[in-house]
Amino acid sequence: MSALPENLQIESVLSGMQPFQPTAYYDKHLDVIRVQIMDCSISEERVDKIMTIYHMNHHHRPDGLNDIAGFAIKGVRHLFKKLEIKYEGAILIAELLDKLVKMYPTTGTRRVIEFYRELGNKAPMEISLAA
């Protein structure tokens, strides 16, 4: 990898990049669904055996509210069997979260549901389980 010339400004390097888009994807190797809404550095909070919440490292509000930047759902294959969801194709994230909170009404799943609802049309709608 070659070093960048000293006079090259960071803006010129980033100018060709696409703007960040909220994203959702399935990591088949770790068997986890990851949803990231904000383009920022994050800290992970494991809230229960299923959910991990991503928090912004730099809060937008001084009181720290609404600092969620995304979430992860772990153990997807096992969850899909329990929730009776087909493990193929594309699934709606809202449908998955709805079934998840009904079967596992933990504080973590409720927090993620509230966060996802607040996003409205900014939220990723579906995720593909294709390899």
- The confidence band for 91, taking pLDDT boundaries of 50, 70 and 90, is confident
- The confidence band for 39, taking pLDDT boundaries of 50, 70 and 90, is confident
Let me know: does 123 contact 116? Beta carbons within 8 Å: yes
* pLDDT on residue 54: 93
Residue 93 confidence (pLDDT) above 90: no
* pLDDT on residue 129: 80
Residue 1 confidence (pLDDT) above 60: no
Mean pLDDT of the chain: 82
Report the b/e string of 86-112 with b at 16+ CB within 10 A.
Answer: eeeeebebeebbebbbeebeeebbebb
For the chain, the first-to-last Cα distance in angstroms comes to: 30
Let me know: does 54 contact 44? Beta carbons within 8 Å: yes
**CA-CA distance, 55 to 116, in Å (whole number)?**
14
Residue 120 confidence (pLDDT) above 60: yes
Domains of the chain by residue range: 17-128
Alpha helix ranges (H) inside the chain? 10-14, 76-83, 93-103, 107-119
